[in-house]
Amino acid sequence: MYGMVNNAIKELILAEHGDQVWERIKKRADVVNEVFLSNEPYPDETTYRLVEASASELEMTAEAVLQRFGMWWVLKTAREGYGHLLQNCGRTLPEFLRNLPNFHTRIMMMFPELRPPEFECSDAEPDSLRLHYRSSRKGLAPFVVGLLYGLGEMFETTIHVAHERSVGSGADHDVFLISWESPASPP
């Protein structure tokens, strides 16, 4: 994964838990980097070790850490670094979700070694849709759940996410049912 991912984990830990906790996490993860170069690729294992060490240090599950990190990624990292791209992907949550493939295509132009996940929407209704998630990386479905809740917050839309099918349970890809409260009609 690119250094920007590891930097975002670092920023989240520093913002919510402080320097001392970050130093303990780095030590547990056996990570010596003081700085991750955002545009440079790093072994996926580094990121996984940071997540596991964070979970251990914070007495949380890795899934909970990944979900919190997904929200942080949308609300902090992506907004600050790629706000213009986010704005061009849709004015509503469903529009944004349908445009995720285009978003990743644009990101790949900036990061040529990026291996982004694939997203596809199906079964769209006025207040729900299914999001299909495929990735070469294992175990990141909780991160996607966090991303979705972060997007809900970004679009000021209350959402509910149900993880209907899971690679971890033998499915060929993950499927999330995302439902939201339809905005009230104007008076």
Name the percent of the chain lying above pLDDT 70: 88
Q: What pLDDT, on the 0 to 100 scale, is given for residue 2?
A: 84
Same-domain status, 93 and 9: no
Q: Structurally, how many domains does the chain consist of?
A: 2
Same-domain status, 51 and 77: no
Instruction: Name beta bridge partners: 2.
Output: 41
90, two tokens: 């849709």
- Which of these, 82, 64, 88, lies nearest to 149 by C-alpha position? 64
40 assigned to some structural domain? yes
172 assigned to some structural domain? yes
Which CATH number characterizes residue 168's domain? Answer: 3.90.1520.10
Query: What digits encode the pLDDT tens for the residues 143-167?
Result: 999 999 999 999 999 999 999 999 9
Same-domain status, 89 and 136: yes
pLDDT tier, 41 (very low <50, low <70, confident <90, very high otherwise): confident
pTM of the model: 0.89
Cα(174)–Cα(186) distance, rounded to whole angstroms? 36
Full domain range(s) for residue 29: 3-60
186 assigned to some structural domain? no
Same-domain status, 103 and 170: yes
Cα(73)–Cα(110) distance, rounded to whole angstroms? 18
Does position 102 have pLDDT exceeding 90, yes or no? no
